[in-house]
Amino acid sequence: RYKMKMFKRGLVLCMFALMSAAVLAQDKEYIVNGTEWLDTEGNVINAHGGGMLKVGEYYYWIGENRRDGVFVSCYRSKDLMNWEFRGHLLTRDSHAELDKANIERPKVVYNKKTGKYVMWMHYEYGGNYDKARAAVAWSDDIEKPFTYVKSFRPFDNMSRDCTLYRDSDGTAYFLSAARENYDLILYKLTDDYLDVKEQLLTLWPGGHREAPAIVKRGKYYFLMTSGCTGWAPNQGKYAYAKSLTGPWSELKNIGDNVTFDTQSTFIVPVEGKKQTSYLYIGDRWDGRRYFNSKYIFFPLSFHHDTTKELHNVEKVKIDVKAGKIN
């Protein structure tokens, strides 16, 4: 009788395990903002303050991990909804300078000339925010550990929240918050993208903008930023320009006064066969419990070439083939 009971119990457990595996294996058809997102193995996704780039048919999502001495992790997806973990790109052991570092807002671009993936990020050390440096790393393979190059202050400027942008002519730019986050400074990178070549301009001096994200649509570059209130959300703003070096428009509000409880980190053009849509990636930070922070994907729409609108939706369905986001 006891054996029978144990057998039945075993059977039930097996069925439960099989059912859970089936649920995990099933592709998500939409994602729900504000909830915990799991990768295809059922683990929580760690890619905060991240960026994306497309390589072949995959979108790669690379962002802050912060667990167990890992700084930057890599995921990939064909549909922007089901994410497969591919590896850790930068850890405490990658370089002596990283032993007690804090790495934020990593962004990666591909350099066609050198065949290397280059990562720029915000570097701090020892639990403070006083180093205010940029850091650079590279890899031949986007899924494999990156080689750390250095941390430094570009042209001696402080450098905190940042982004990286590669233009269609192959020139890459780094934009970061300087002078205690009062200024946003745009730099042109060297041809190998491993250093800054030129300090180009200061955007809205004294404007106190951070969390920059750049996207180009038609003739215009758009730059989205947040104000400076730490982990707490605030009014997102954007500006547009025909050239990255300006002149830039005035900053205009986007979303509500807390950007629908998000802070900008990246904008992905989803290029389908017939149309291109734009996906806003924001962080819904939990400053007290960092790992409780959520990722938010919102559709971003454009009107009359220069006006853009963020849509506060709970469920997001992305059709990459059609280039549609609902």
Q: Where on the chain is the footprint of ligand GAL (CB under 6 A)?
A: 49, 104-105, 161, 210-211, 228, 230-231, 263
Residue 152 CB, nearest distance to ligand GAL (Å)?
18
The DSSP bridge partners found for residue 64 are: 48, 72
Report d(CA 183, CA 198) in Å as an integer: 17
Angle at 53 between CA 47 and CA 54, to 5 degrees: 125
Of the pair 46, 111, the CB lying nearest ligand GAL is at: 46
Of the pair 170, 287, the CB lying nearest ligand GAL is at: 287
Residue 104 CB, nearest distance to ligand GAL (Å)?
5
Residue 158 CB, nearest distance to ligand GAL (Å)?
13
For the chain, the farthest-separated pair of C-alpha atoms sits apart, in whole angstroms, at: 83
Of the pair 211, 224, the CB lying nearest ligand GAL is at: 211
Residue 73 CB, nearest distance to ligand GAL (Å)?
16
Residue 290 CB, nearest distance to ligand GAL (Å)?
10
Here the tokens at position 184 are 């946003």
Report d(CA 124, CA 122) in Å as an integer: 7
Of the pair 10, 230, the CB lying nearest ligand GAL is at: 230
Of the pair 254, 320, the CB lying nearest ligand GAL is at: 254
The DSSP bridge partners found for residue 185 are: 176, 202
Report d(CA 269, CA 216) in Å as an integer: 9
Here the tokens at position 175 are 């934009």
Of the pair 214, 318, the CB lying nearest ligand GAL is at: 214
**3-state SS, residue 8:** helix
Residue 10 CB, nearest distance to ligand GAL (Å)?
48
Of the pair 147, 234, the CB lying nearest ligand GAL is at: 234
Residue 143 CB, nearest distance to ligand GAL (Å)?
24
Report d(CA 96, CA 246) in Å as an integer: 39
Residue 263 CB, nearest distance to ligand GAL (Å)?
6
Residue 176 CB, nearest distance to ligand GAL (Å)?
11
Helices (H) and strands (E) in the chain, counts: 1, 24
Here the tokens at position 53 are 């780039």
The answer to whether 16 and 9 have CB atoms below 8 angstroms apart is no
Nearest C-alpha neighbor of 320 from the set 79, 87, 45: 79
Of the pair 176, 277, the CB lying nearest ligand GAL is at: 176
**3-state SS, residue 165:** strand
Which residue sits closest to ligand GAL, CB atoms considered? 230
Of the pair 111, 295, the CB lying nearest ligand GAL is at: 295
The DSSP bridge partners found for residue 150 are: 136
Report d(CA 283, CA 163) in Å as an integer: 15
Radius of gyration in angstroms for the set of CA atoms belonging to the chain, rounded to a whole number: 21
The answer to whether 118 and 151 have CB atoms below 8 angstroms apart is no
